[in-house]
Amino acid sequence: MLPAPVPPCTLTRRSFVKHVGGILALGLTDEWPGQARTGVASPTAVRIKSVASNFEREALHPYRFKGSAITESWQTVARLTTDNGLSAVGLGTQGVLWSDARVFEGHSESAGNALMYAMSEFALQQAKGRTFTSPVQLLDELLPEVLAYGKKITGVGDLRKTFALNALVPVDNAAWLAYVAENKLTTFDELIPAAYRPGLSARHDRVASIPSFSAGTPIEPIKKAADEGFFILKLKTGAAGSQAEMIEKDIAFLTAVHRAIGHYETPHTKNGKIPYYFDANGRYEKKETLLRFLDHARKIGAFDQIAVIEEPFGEQNETYVGDLGVRVAADESAHTAEDARQRIEQGYGAIAVKAIAKTLSMTMKIAQVAFEKKIPCFCADLTVNPILLEWNKNVAARLPAFPGMTVGLQEANGRQYYKAWERLMSYHPKAGAAYTRASKGVFETDARFFRESGGIFEPSAHYVALVSDEENR
């Protein structure tokens, strides 16, 4: 049972800018060559006349990973208004700890979020006055500028590209919605550029809803989720402490999970068994430590049920992982399509794509690279709001089938961690549609879902109101 809804925190964009607006004057303009193609024969050129932004703070039940924890999530809102008077409102959910733990560790939780929001606002100001014929083109132009600006304001000289991409999500989503409106498109399939359609050509009628459990989660809620029909569970490993302490905790966690649910059966996998999805978020420093974890999995009979291990090593660790006997997935280290290619060369056998964390534009590129390399993808979450969940679901429902699975795959953990999930659900323009809620572990992505594209093209009155009183700037 979820706790009673709580109102969003009251810190506003205006009060935020009053204190940190000065840093937005820092402008940097390096070039990043684009490779934009469109899915429309003769796309309308979209010129951005004015922009606006805002944010809300949403309280979370503590979500523990990377040896730390988050307790709130900033929901960012970006508005683009075109020369034709069309306004598009895009949403983002910030993941500071996930995208660059150094920024999270070097500041208070609020300050880390404020830095990312400042990058979103900077991106909007850089976008104002620009003309684009594809949002992919716009992202290619903005990413290097926003990344350089982020390095300056965070003081992290090698700031991860994922941090900049996360800040660009609301801007990219608004650009796609403006593109859809200007070109009179009505479905998600129509907006996919021709160059990226092969990687998003499937059409699943069901998508698994994958809950996520923090490192150190008691076994009871994990078993409860399995009893409710959730058949693939994301299990955070990389417990807090030294490497020696971490591996002992992770082994104990694996043992407890397998003892509790290892015997469960499901109709959604080809072997009928519940698969395990482990995510260490780069906490393992050596391959030998991961091998200890895998050896223990063999010892207790859990090895064959490991569907994927995500990001066991840090980004700078170039250890080859193609000889571990399990599928290893890249997530936050696969910032861009080129990064995904490099990870594939290192033996990574899957890519966790996040349209809600790395932008839809970059996700399309990554999914196409993976498709061409015959590497499966699945959608991971960033503890996003219900509307962004639909952006991810539109991708998950179109990715080629993951090996051993009979449905699409999408992590969806917001229901577990937001203290006011039901209030957030009420902001969904299609609240009440069957496809917005999982039943027995799956979302039904039926004809209505594809026809309505999960409702992402329809405005949310709540979020539109957040930027309706902002001055055109």
Torsion angles phi and psi, residue 244, rounded to 5: -65, -40
Residue-level pLDDT at 13: 53
- The answer, as to whether pTM is greater than 0.85, is yes
Encoded tokens for 239? 């417990």
Mutual angle of helices 109-127 and 135-154, in 10-degree steps: 140
Residue with tokens 């970059």: 362
User: Which parts of 331-407 are beta strand (E)?
Assistant: 350-353, 377-379
| Rounded mean pLDDT for each run of 10 residues along the chain, 473 residues in total | 42 50 42 42 92 98 92 98 97 97 97 98 98 97 98 97 98 98 96 96 97 93 96 94 96 97 94 94 96 98 96 93 97 93 96 97 97 97 98 98 94 97 98 97 98 98 90 48
Separation CA 81–CA 460 (nearest Å): 16
User: Which parts of 83-205 are beta strand (E)?
Assistant: 87-93, 131-132
Residue-level pLDDT at 14: 52
Residue-level pLDDT at 1: 38
Element containing residue 309 per DSSP (H, E): strand 306-310
Longest distance between any two alpha carbons in the chain, whole Å = 65
3-state secondary structure of 140: helix
Q: Which long-range contacts (CB under 8 A, 24 or more apart) does 256-262 make?
A: 256/219, 257/219, 257/222, 257/233, 257/302, 258/297, 258/300, 258/301, 258/302, 258/305, 259/300, 260/219, 260/222, 260/223, 260/226, 261/222, 261/223, 261/226, 261/233, 262/301, 262/302, 262/305
